[in-house]
Chain A
């Protein structure tokens, strides 16, 4: 499809703060990079509706919607990370509609279809006036199961957002009407703060513009349907000059791995006594779980973190409470940087290495194979692992058993994971070479199935295994193995 770029913009943290204040959508996926890191977005992302309103403002400014607007349909396809530049590309235009896309690095993040014409005289899904008012809140509501929102309804006052609309979106306000633009901004609050709230993904909306003078001051909403299979929620919205539907997904909350108490039930207290494990990438996910298992068995652990210092310290506290205070220490470690210098602060000589360092695995990308992404995986899964093994070998002079977590995806890579599976295969080849050489490091490779972690959480249901069940026999095998045996 041929298209022309109309405008481009980089949404920065100031934009995030502005739109959160305007719309009342303070969902941490937009506002807190530390929390957003553990979501499917992997980083703080732009409010989708902010990007839409900016697009409408550019479209209105350009004059292409001069004949009036009758409706708007938007599909949010991909996240827009804060700090990345998007372009607004104008697609098909005729006398009935205009199609536009927001594009980020060749990927379409948002598709907009503007229907041209006049607002309808009235009608639509008129929702009862007596719905309770849903006021501003600084924390989103947390729903975990879609069924919990069934029947939810409410009303949001547009006065707050309407005040800031003309300054930031003057052309859209002139073309749509200030109240309608404010109502669109409120859709962000509806999804991000109210329904489904904390764990939401705004998927799509479709609205008609209507003339309803008696319902100008507020936007009414009601959950019109849920689908438990796909964790999907549909809502009807009406008021402030718009009428239509909103669709959102309820994403899975961050995965909570088994607690020390749970782990201790399965591990004998002296099972791993006398061992010291360096767990790279130990602050969360499989690394944190492995740290707990070894500590529960009487072993010592040094868990590393790249960015999640708070999570690492919480892990050390949890382990310290159940085992001895010095059972788990934490250190910073970035697998993309040289290992020797970073491991200089190690106050022990590890007998075992567990290497869970990983960049985000599921990526938004264009095309079958992205060389730069492959390079990124190779850097961590191959070069980083080898560097870490060499640094430990040189440092300690002690035999070392290392665990290399490969993946069943090296045999059958799902769509979109070519770079990941290729890099893991390269890592396996490296491990084989290391085991054939006369070195101090013996590597045990395990092809892990899809396990429940933040990295594997998806909205569409995908079967995944229990991490503790999968990891416990592997850890026992690694711990019982001696490189010189």
Chain B
């Protein structure tokens, strides 16, 4: 799966969760830059991504992601 495809998927999941089609994630987007993407929504987002891709993140990874690009990179390695 290419990075752009993963990014598109993350964007779609977050748009669906926050019910906001105006969200446009980039590799450098940080959580605090997206309106309403708070900690509980972040957990929902992670779980929804896991279900979509059939993967499971470690807690330490979930805590450590500094931006969307790091999530994309982690997913890329998990899908290899």
- Chain A residues engaging chain B, CB cutoff 8 angstroms: 1, 73, 75-78, 92, 99, 108, 111, 113, 201, 203-204, 227, 229-230, 232, 247, 249, 368, 415-416, 458-462
Give A368 to B42 CA distance when docked, in angstroms. Answer: 18
Give A99 to B16 CA distance when docked, in angstroms. Answer: 12
Q: Which of B19, B31, B43 contacts A99 (CB 8 A)?
A: B19
Q: Are A415 and B32 in contact (CB under 8 A)?
A: yes
A460/B39 contact (C-beta < 8 A), A204-B44, A247-B44 known: yes
Q: Are A232 and B43 in contact (CB under 8 A)?
A: yes
Interface positions, chain B 1-44, Cβ under 8 Å from A, are 17-22, 31-32, 35-36, 38-44
Q: Are A249 and B40 in contact (CB under 8 A)?
A: yes
| Inter-chain CB contacts under 8 Å: number | 56
Q: Are A75 and B59 in contact (CB under 8 A)?
A: no
Q: Which of B31, B41, B63 contacts A75 (CB 8 A)?
A: B41
Give A78 to B39 CA distance when docked, in angstroms. Answer: 10
Q: Are A459 and B39 in contact (CB under 8 A)?
A: yes
Q: How large is the interface on B (under 10, 10 to 19, 20 to 34, 35 or more residues)?
A: 20 to 34
Q: Does B53 sit within 8 A of A, measured CB to CB?
A: no
In the assembled complex, 27 residue pairs joining A and B whose CB atoms fall closer than 8 Å, in A order, are: A75-B17, A77-B40, A78-B38, A92-B21, A111-B18, A111-B36, A113-B19, A201-B40, A203-B40, A203-B44, A227-B47, A230-B43, A232-B47, A247-B44, A368-B32, A415-B31, A415-B32, A416-B32, A459-B40, A459-B43, A460-B39, A460-B40, A460-B42, A460-B43, A460-B62, A460-B63, A461-B63
Give A204 to B40 CA distance when docked, in angstroms. Answer: 10
Q: Are A1 and B22 in contact (CB under 8 A)?
A: yes
**In the complex, residue of chain A having the shortest beta-carbon distance to the beta carbon of B23:** A1
Interface positions, chain B 32-80, Cβ under 8 Å from A, are 32, 35-36, 38-44, 46-47, 59, 62-63
Q: Which of B19, B38, B59 contacts A73 (CB 8 A)?
A: B19
Residues of B within 8 A of A232 (CB): 43, 47
Q: Are B41 and A230 in contact (CB under 8 A)?
A: no
Give A75 to B42 CA distance when docked, in angstroms. Answer: 12
Residues of A within 8 A of B47 (CB): 227, 230, 232
Q: Other CB < 8 Å A-B pairs besides A77-B36, A230-B43, A460-B39, 11 of them?
A: A1-B22, A75-B19, A75-B41, A76-B40, A99-B20, A111-B20, A203-B44, A230-B46, A232-B47, A459-B40, A460-B40
Give A73 to B44 CA distance when docked, in angstroms. Answer: 14
Residues of A within 8 A of B21 (CB): 92
Give A334 to B21 CA distance when docked, in angstroms. Answer: 47
Give A75 to B36 CA distance when docked, in angstroms. Answer: 10
Q: Are A229 and B59 in contact (CB under 8 A)?
A: yes
Residues of A within 8 A of B43 (CB): 230, 232, 249, 459-460
Residues of B within 8 A of A78 (CB): 38
Residues of B within 8 A of A368 (CB): 32
Residues of A within 8 A of B46 (CB): 230
Give A461 to B64 CA distance when docked, in angstroms. Answer: 12
Residues of B within 8 A of A462 (CB): 63
Residues of B within 8 A of A99 (CB): 19-20
A77/B41 contact (C-beta < 8 A), A232-B47, A460-B63 known: yes
Nearest chain A CB to B49 CB, angstrom units: 13
Q: Are A75 and B39 in contact (CB under 8 A)?
A: no
Give A458 to B59 CA distance when docked, in angstroms. Answer: 14
Nearest chain B CB to A187 CB, angstrom units: 17
**In the complex, residue of chain B having the shortest beta-carbon distance to the beta carbon of A99:** B19
**In the complex, residue of chain B having the shortest beta-carbon distance to the beta carbon of A101:** B36
Residues of B within 8 A of A111 (CB): 18-20, 36
Residues of A within 8 A of B42 (CB): 460
Give A315 to B31 CA distance when docked, in angstroms. Answer: 41
Residues of B within 8 A of A113 (CB): 19
Give A113 to B36 CA distance when docked, in angstroms. Answer: 15
Give A249 to B59 CA distance when docked, in angstroms. Answer: 16
Give A462 to B63 CA distance when docked, in angstroms. Answer: 8
Nearest chain A CB to B38 CB, angstrom units: 6
**In the complex, residue of chain A having the shortest beta-carbon distance to the beta carbon of B22:** A1
Residue of B35, B43, B59 contacting most chain A CB atoms (<10 Å)? B43
Residues of A within 8 A of B22 (CB): 1
Residues of B within 8 A of A201 (CB): 40
Give A232 to B43 CA distance when docked, in angstroms. Answer: 9
Give A229 to B17 CA distance when docked, in angstroms. Answer: 20
Interchain residue pairs A-B with the least CB separation, the first 7: A113-B19, A230-B43, A108-B36, A415-B32, A460-B39, A111-B19, A77-B36
**In the complex, residue of chain A having the shortest beta-carbon distance to the beta carbon of B60:** A463
Nearest chain A CB to B56 CB, angstrom units: 9
Give A461 to B42 CA distance when docked, in angstroms. Answer: 12
Nearest chain A CB to B33 CB, angstrom units: 10
